[in-house]
Amino acid sequence: MPDPLDLAFAALADPTRRRILAMLLEDDMAVTDVAAPFTVSLAAISKHLAILTRAGLVSQERRGRVVWCKLEPDALRIASVWMQGFGQFDAVELDQLERLLSAERLLPPADD
């Protein structure tokens, strides 16, 4: 069984996945809406969402024919607690996370 901390850091390592998390800070979104701003295929975005879901950062729920995605910030707390062990990092506050992810959104889109 993969370590949740490894899964969280691996998921956060990709700029496309960080952009997806930033989008989901605003509200739950349908998979097709998540994919809309990207120049990659829906299948590629679905793979990114699967990685985020496996890491516990996103949950997905089917409502009729539409799959909705929701941010699950608790997985980030695992990483935050781990980093606090080094004494150099403060706990991740959701406001700080929102600012970080919003700043990521200002970067040019990644084509993954």
Q: What gap in Å lies between CA 97 and CA 112, rounded to an integer?
A: 23
Amino acid 27: pLDDT: 93
Q: pLDDT digits over 30-88, tens only?
A: 999 999 999 999 999 999 999 999 999 999 999 999 999 999 988 788 888 877 777 65
Give the DSSP letter of residue 3: -
Give yes or no for a contact between 102 and 25, defined as CB atoms under 8 angstroms apart: yes
pLDDT confidence bin for 93, thresholds 50/70/90:
low
Amino acid 80: pLDDT: 80
pTM: 0.75
pLDDT confidence bin for 3, thresholds 50/70/90:
confident
**Which residues, other chains included, contact 70 with Cβ-Cβ below 8 Å and sequence gap of 6+?**
24, 28, 58, 59, 60, 61
Report all structural domains of the chain as residue ranges with CATH numbers, in order of start: 4-103 (1.10.10.10)
Query: Between residues 112 and 26, which one has the greater pLDDT?
Result: 26
Amino acid 88: pLDDT: 58
For residue 71, list its beta bridge partners. Answer: 58
Amino acid 94: pLDDT: 64
